[in-house]
Amino acid sequence: MNSAAMRFDVPATSASRVRQLIESTNTRAAVHGLTAYGLEISAPFLADYTDPHDGRVVGQRPTVTVTIFGEIPRHSGWTVVARLDHDDEGETLLSLFPGLPDHLAAEASAQRVVANFCHGCQVSRHRTATYLVRHDSGDYRQLGTTCVEPYTGLPIKGLEALWRFGKLKDSDWDDDSGEGGYPADLRVPVVDVLRVTAAIVAQEGRYYSRSEEWKQASPTADGVSAYFFDRRAPAEWRAAIDAEPDALTVASAVREWAVQGYGSVNDYRHKVGQLAKGETVAPVTSLLSCPPSRDGTATRRRPLPRGPPATRSRREKRVSDSPSPPP
């Protein structure tokens, strides 16, 4: 017997939905006497999230790998290996049975098919779909929908239920329920947040807190948020931030300084240190500070020309105000 296996990744938040779809599909298939398929869901891991609007890797999302497996339905040596959809213009679209092994997929794809023809009833008439079946001997037949079950003994309704598995892999599992159309469970690597913060402080010449907005200065927190989440931010501005030569070095120093912090839970250094110990941080959390130098003193640089003002979006509200920088 031939086994089918499908493997694909989905957001961890969609795991329960996948499980429900597998269970409902197996229930429908069982009504027609077909064996249920198995399901395995891996432990969550972080995978890059690419913004579908501009192709940027914005952050990471908890993700799981889904594996669906089972035996391809077979009766009296016959197996349905593909569905052929025929349009009004004479074109035929071949859809392989979900999880079909590579050698059978290649073999089935190479078969010559005739639109609207059925080897079962030998009648040529208008059909929107036919099925390609294979015998253990290697013989292939093209059958109309109503001839599949009489010819092979396989229930067409049950097969159509199992065909739903193939759509799961290509389904849109993206989640834009968060603010600004980003996934609610999106996380940003700590090192990237600190790097961008250091680069903006270097370009601005200093750190600007939210309380300084009356000076008509754009808060540093807004700039960092815009870098990650504002789709209208100029690409040249982002490129200049990425090109800041010392940003990564300063970010590493900030992280080391913060992780070694001590004191009460309300201590600024302690708060940032607790967050910096992780690999990623939720966008609702602020790691923004005036990056200290390696000896822990606040870094100040010669003022540089300000970059393009970042336009605040709803998403930017998810990055909270930073505590005041350390003295």
Q: Could you tell me where the beta strands, DSSP code E, fall in the chain? A: 3-11, 38-41, 45-50, 57-71, 74-75, 78-86, 92-96, 129-135, 140-144, 188-189, 280-281
- Tokens in use for 254? 């900030």
**pLDDT at residue 323, as a whole number:** 38
C-beta of residue 177 within 8 angstroms of C-beta of residue 295: no
Q: What does the pLDDT read at residue 170? A: 75
Please, which residues have CB within 8 angstroms of residue 183's CB and are 6 or more apart in sequence? 11, 49, 61, 174, 175, 176, 177
pLDDT tens for the 327 residues of the chain, in order = 578 889 999 999 999 999 999 999 999 999 999 999 999 999 999 999 998 888 899 899 999 999 999 999 999 999 999 999 988 777 888 999 998 999 999 999 999 888 878 999 988 788 888 999 999 999 999 999 999 999 999 999 999 999 888 888 777 777 666 667 888 888 888 888 889 988 998 888 888 877 776 677 788 888 888 899 888 899 999 999 999 999 999 888 878 877 776 666 566 667 677 777 777 877 655 554 444 444 444 444 333 334 444 444 333 334 434 333 443
Residue 176, pLDDT score: 64
What integer pLDDT is reported at residue 298 of this predicted model? 41
Euclidean distance between CA atoms 198 and 82, whole angstroms: 56
Helices and strands in the chain, H and E counts: 10, 11
Predicted pLDDT of residue 325? 40
Residue 319: the pLDDT is 40
How many residues make up the chain in this entry?
327
How far apart CA 122 and CA 141 sit, in angstroms, is: 11
| Cα-based angle 238, 240, 241 (whole degrees, multiple of 5) | 65
Distance CA 219, CA 316 (A): 12
What is the per-residue pLDDT for 282? 74
Count of beta carbons in the 10 Å neighbourhood of residue 272:
26
